[in-house]
Structure 1
Amino acid sequence: MLNLKVGGVPEHFNYPWYITLKNKEYTKNRINLRWQDFPGGTGDMCKALRSGEIDIAIVLTEGIIKDIIEGNPSKITQFYVESPLIWGIHVNAKSKYQDISELQNATIAISRYGSGSHLMAIVNAHNNGWDIDKLKFKVVNNLEGGIDALNKGEADYFMWEHFTTKPFVDEGTFKSLGNCPTPWPCFVVAVREEIIKNYSKDLKKVLDIINNCTKHFKKIDKIDQTLSLRYQQQLNDVREWLSITEWGDATPVSEDFITDIQNKMKAYNVIDKTVDSRSLIKNMYI
């Protein structure tokens, strides 16, 4: 039986992995798949892929593209979520800040450099016409670290997925100043090249299983209630998230599309250079 390790953020996006693991769908195909939560997000997962701590990552598009360009020996095998990720822009509930325009010279809490919270802060700054070179960052590791940094005044604002942080806005921990959607599909499946080379049939089976689950995910009986309870989110927020989320599938990742994303990332100063998109992807269904 093949052992494989997959990592992702402990958020509602990855509940399909919980379902398929609970149903032992991988075991039935002689694959011992183990899930690992990464509260630290994309930067943490990129590091884990590099070290071999995990074999597969459900990771933010911008983060893994940047890290593969910088030497991560992994490839994008497909889009996991094709819709944008909605990044909420949060300050402490008692903060003096009332509008995003006031944050130009403020200190930004980020989980780590190269993470989505870091790269999307750059995108947000670009959208607002701020000087990227003057941005100030405070590394906080994860969502809990962001809450702590804002409470202590060590950072002024923190960007994290809108629906994950909505409960903290509702309870009065955060104040939301607005949102910043990703200008590209948000999550991809990234796999270490060694796994792609040596276990492609097994990898394809893993992708078949998760794609079949996400294909029918919205139709699962009372899935909105299940997600609301598990992730402690308001039912209306879960229903809104389900309505705007589009899952990926086995459709091959277009080189031109990845090139377009790279060009956007370079224009946003998220990456310094673009590369041949063929070096970033490995389609498993061609």
Structure 2
Amino acid sequence: MKKIKIAGVPEHFNLPWQLAIENNEFTDYNIDLEWTNVPEGTGKLCEMLRSGETDLAVILTEGIIKDILAGNPSKIVQIYVKSPLIWGIHVGANSSFKTVSDLKDTRGAISRRGSGSELMAYVNAHNQKWSTENLKFEIVNTIDGAVEALTNEKADYFMWERFMTKPLVDQGIFRRLDDCLTPWPSFVIVATDDLLKNSPEVIQKTLQIINFKTKKFKEIPGITATIAERFHQKIEDIEHWISRTEWSQESMDQEMLNNVQNQLFEFGIINKKGTFAQLAIR
């Protein structure tokens, strides 16, 4: 039995992994896949890949491209979710800010440096035609940290996946001013260079198993009710989310990677571009 460590955010996108593990779909092929939930998000996942704390990660496309270019010894092995991620732009319930334009030069709450919550602030600034040099951030680690920061005015806004934060909007803790969509595929699967060198066949088998799961995921009987229960969501919100979410079973190709890098460069998220061989495998 080959033990493999994998990490990702505790969000509905990753339920296919959880269900496959619970159903012993990896152990049936002699893979002991150990999942770790990482609520801190992409920045923490990058740290775990660098340190060898995890072998695989399901991670935001923009965050891992930036970190591989900065020396993370990992490669993108596949696109996981090809549809864009919908980031809600949130303020505290009692905030005086009414529109996204009001947030110019204010403080964004982010989980940590290099996280999606930081990088998407650059995308939003570009969309709003703001100077990214004036972006300011408060590190809050988790959603709970963002609640505390916005409630106590330590930060002014927080960007996070719209549906995962909707319960906080429904409870009157956050107000959502608008959405900001990623102009690239949401999530990719990443493997460390060590795993790619020493166990390429295990990676391929793991991908085959999860690809079969995601291909059939929407057809699982009662899946919307299962997601709603596990993630404390309303059924109608999950129906909306799942209708907009498309998993992928395809590798990253050169054209797509170039398009993503060009946009990341334009937005000021990266200051150099890499080759396909540096960033991904086919």
TM-score band by shorter chain is over 0.9
The answer for the alignment partner of 1:236 in structure 2 is 236
Instruction: Tell me by how many angstroms 1:61 deviates.
Output: 0.0
Moved over 4 A (4+): none
Separation in structure 1 between the aligned mates of residue 263 and residue 44 of structure 2, nearest angstrom:
23
The amino acid across from 2:117 in the alignment is S
- 1:1-286 matches, within 5 Å, as 1-249=1-249, 251-283=250-282
Contact 1:89 1:176 in 2 (8 A): yes
Hey, what's the Cα distance between the residues in 2 that align with 1:67 and 1:42? 10
Corresponding residue SS for 2:203: helix
Task: State the alpha-carbon separation in 1 of the partners of residues 227 and 27 from structure 2.
Answer: 25
Q: 1:155-193 CA distances to partner (integer Å, 9 max, x unpaired)?
A: 000000000000100010000000000010010000001
The gaps in structure 1 that reach 5 residues or longer are none
The one-letter code sitting in structure 2 at the alignment partner of 1:80 is Y
Distance (whole Å) between structure 1 residues aligned to residue 38 and residue 251 of structure 2: 27
Structure 2 distance, partners of 1:240, 1:270, is 30
- CA shift, 1:75, in A, is 0.2
Distance in 2 of aligned mates of 1:202 and 1:93: 47
Length, aligned pairs only: 282
The one-letter amino acid paired with 1:263 is: N
Structure 2: 5+ residue stretches without partners: none
TM-score, with length taken from structure 1: 0.98
Shift of 1:278: 2.2
Alpha-carbon distance in structure 1 between the residues aligned to 2:225 and 2:3: 33
Question: How far apart are 1:277 and its partner, in Å?
Answer: 2.2
Letter of the 1:219 counterpart: E
State the alpha-carbon separation in 2 of the partners of residues 91 and 134 from structure 1.
19
Deviation at 1:97, TM superposition (A): 0.5
CA distance in 1, matches of 2:272, 2:281: 21
Sequence identity (%): 48
Contact 1:255 1:278 in 2 (8 A): no
Task: Tell me the CA shift for residue 105 of structure 1.
Answer: 1.6
SS in 1 for 2:90: strand
Equivalent residue letter for 1:12: H
Cα deviation 1:205-243 (Å, max 9, x = unaligned): 111111100000001001001111110111111001110
CA separation in 2, counterparts of 1:10 and 1:252? Answer: 24
User: What CA RMSD, in Å, does the superposition of the two structures yield over aligned residues?
Assistant: 0.7
